[in-house]
Amino acid sequence: MKRGLKSGICMTNCPTLIVTVGLPARGKTYISKKLTRYLNWIDVPTKEFNVGQYRRECVKIYKSFEFFRPDNEEGLKIRKQCALAALNDVRQFLTDEGGQVAVFDATNTTRERRETILRFAEQNGFKVFSLWNLFSELQNIFNTFILLKLGSPDYTHCNTEEAVADFMKRIKCYENSYQPLDEELDRDLSFIKIIDVGRRYLVNRVQDHIQSRIVYYLMNIHITPRSIYLCRHGESDLNIKGRIGGDSGLSARGKEFAKSLGQFIQSQNIHDLKVWTSQMKRTIQTAEAVGVPYEQWKALNEIDAGVCEELTYEEIQQRYPLEFALRDQDKYRYRYPKGESYEDLVQRLEPVIMELERQENVLVICHQAVMRCLLAYFLDKTAEELPYLKCPLHTVLKLTPMAYGCKVESVCLNVDAVNTHRDRPSVRLTNTHIIRMYCSMSVYSSRFLGVHKFSLY
């Protein structure tokens, strides 16, 4: 078996350039950032390129909307330069840095600008998919603006009224030259048009798997305010013994936590709360105490530690020292023999994330590794950070989507529990050390065999 790589993957994966289209304050940046976070989490290297940021780097101080006037030659020149600079960085990311998807976040409101981008993509062998979103309700625009623009570096020196007035004039500057995508003229392009805050979508010519996944994701997200509560099961009998995995019930303290959790949830007065657990005893017992109907998901089961199931870390070190070392080398991709890796976990949790996006208020009672994966999605943590995120027992994390990210409130329910967190050790064996020790390449490679990566052609 070849070392660490999937044999003979067809190397014609075309990188994809996603292009946003729309007037200011239509949610383009919100969607760009969210989509980028999702794609990176499912292991598709993605980066967003916000032209506004390039402009701010060029024109250090924002004076007023006049910069955006269509007759401002100087302004137009600078804006065009910024767009080209951004495209250049896109090319570098997709061609030289192993990127697979680049999100070009700008208004792109003229046909001319879009044609420039299409030519650029064609020259470089990128596929293009356009995200065209129209928030048609004025109220939404106003709310969005209040939330996002007032925090923008452009308006630090203004008061609210001035900022609003200026921003409205800015939008007007775009309106006159706005040439929306045309369902007829642009019928050969691949795009999704999001209408009416996501109640309606027009999808045209989806070319491949990744575009299909993007469309599915975009159709499932919403902006209705809600909170997601994440916590682990109460302390279990195996937790107390320092053993990993297994399917034991709650300890006495774990049962206390379950009761406290029930009380906490009651006190939060959550509207229409859904409760999800895994199919393992300890999460189910925890949910039982909350006293509301709950759904069991097999996908929320803890990471399968294979041959190391129910062992203590000391026993693993004793019986499988090589495995133990390999895991510390790359905890995200390391797969327990006959078990799973964090990477496998992310793949099996993807439908859970998709459904979490669709839902509103949800309490997810799960496990340490699972909670790390879910948290990494919401907080945009890398694969390196994910396996070391702190998810202690008897603590509830309340995640509330806010502006471009997620507010996190941590509530410790004051019931004692063991600590199950194992940091990355400071002394780690290097590759060569391990290989010299065990002279077996095949063991190393099979531990890191990646999950299937969807081909992007």
Partner 1 sequence: RFTSRPQFTNCPTMIVMVGLPARGKTYISKKLTRYLNWIGVPTQVFNLGQYRREVVQTYKNYEFFRPDNEEAMKIRRSCASNALKDIANYFTKEQGQVAVFDATNTTRERRGAIISFAKEKGYKVFFIESVCDDPEIIEANIMQVKLSSPDYENYDKEEALVDFLKRIDCYKMSYVPLDEEKDRHLSFIKIFNVGSRYLVNRVQDHIQSRIVYYLMNIHVTPRSIYLSRHGESELNLLGRIGGDTGLSSQGQKYAKALAEFIRGQSIKDLKVWTSHMKRTIQTAEALGVPYEQWKALNEIDAGVCEEMTYEEIQATHPEEFALRDQDKYRYRYPKGESYEDLVHRLEPVIMELERQENVLVICHQAVMRCLLAYFLDKSADDLPYLKCPLHTVLKLTPLAYGCKVESFYLNIQAVNTHRDRPTNVNVARKPEEALQTVPEHL
Q: Which residues are annotated as a binding site for substrate?
A: 232-239, 282
* Nearest distance, CB of residue 364 and partner 1, angstroms: 16
The answer to whether the beta carbons of residues 17 and 121 sit under 8 Å apart is yes
Tell me the CA distances in angstroms from 293 to 272, 274, 287, one per residue in order: 11, 8, 8
For residue 55, report the phi and psi dihedrals to the nearest 5 degrees: -65, -40
Is residue 271 among the annotated active site residues?
A: no
Strands 294-296 and 16-21: unpaired
Residue 233 annotated among the catalytic residues of the structure: yes
Strands (E), 334-404: 362-366, 395-402
- Cβ nearer to partner 1, comparing 199 with 271: 199
Using DSSP, state whether 31 is helix, strand or coil: helix
DSSP notation for 285-327: HHHHHHTS-EEE-GGGSPP--GGGTT-BHHHHHHH-HHHHHHH
Residues at the interface with partner 1 (CB under 8 A): 1, 6-10, 187, 196, 199-206, 208-209, 212, 215-216, 219-220, 295-296, 298, 309, 338, 344, 347-348, 355, 358, 449, 451-452, 454-455
Tell me how far apart the alpha carbons of residues 37 and 39 are, in angstroms, rounded to a whole number.
6
Which C-beta is closer to partner 1: that of 136 or that of 400? Answer: 136
Minimum Å gap between C-beta 154 and partner 1 is 35
Helix or strand run (H / E) with residue 3 = none
Residue 414: what residue type? N
- Closer residue to partner 1, CB minimum distance, 215 or 238: 215
Q: In whole angstroms, how close is the CB of 183 to partner 1 at the nearest point?
A: 8
Kindly list the distances between the CA atom of residue 124 and the CA atoms of 25, 139, 214, 307, 385, in Å, as whole numbers in the listed order: 30, 40, 22, 47, 33
Q: Shortest distance, CB of residue 94 to partner 1, whole angstroms?
A: 22
For residue 335, the Cα-to-chain-centroid distance in whole angstroms is: 22
Spot the catalytic one: 48, 256, 302, 340: 302
Q: What six digits make up the tokens of 73?
A: 């030659």
Round to whole Å and give the CA distance between 24 and 26.
Answer: 6
Cβ-based neighbour number of residue 318 at 10 Å: 11
E-strand ranges in 13-126 read 16-21, 46-50, 101-105
Query: What is the smallest separation between the CB atom of 28 and partner 1, expressed in angstroms?
Result: 20
Please identify, using beta-carbon distances, which residue of 49 and 448 lies nearer to partner 1: 448
Q: Which is nearer to partner 1, 220 or 329 (CB)?
A: 220
> C-beta of 409: minimal distance to partner 1 in Å?
28
89 vs 304, beta carbon nearer partner 1: 304
Known binding-site residue numbers: 232-239, 282
d(CA 351, CA 29): 24
- Nearest residue (CB) to partner 1, 7 versus 419: 7
Distance CA 202, CA 22 (A): 15
Residue in 57, 137, 157, 233 annotated catalytic: 233
Angle at 254 between CA 425 and CA 297, to 5 degrees: 80
Least CB distance from residue 84 to partner 1, whole Å? 32
Catalytic residues: 233, 302
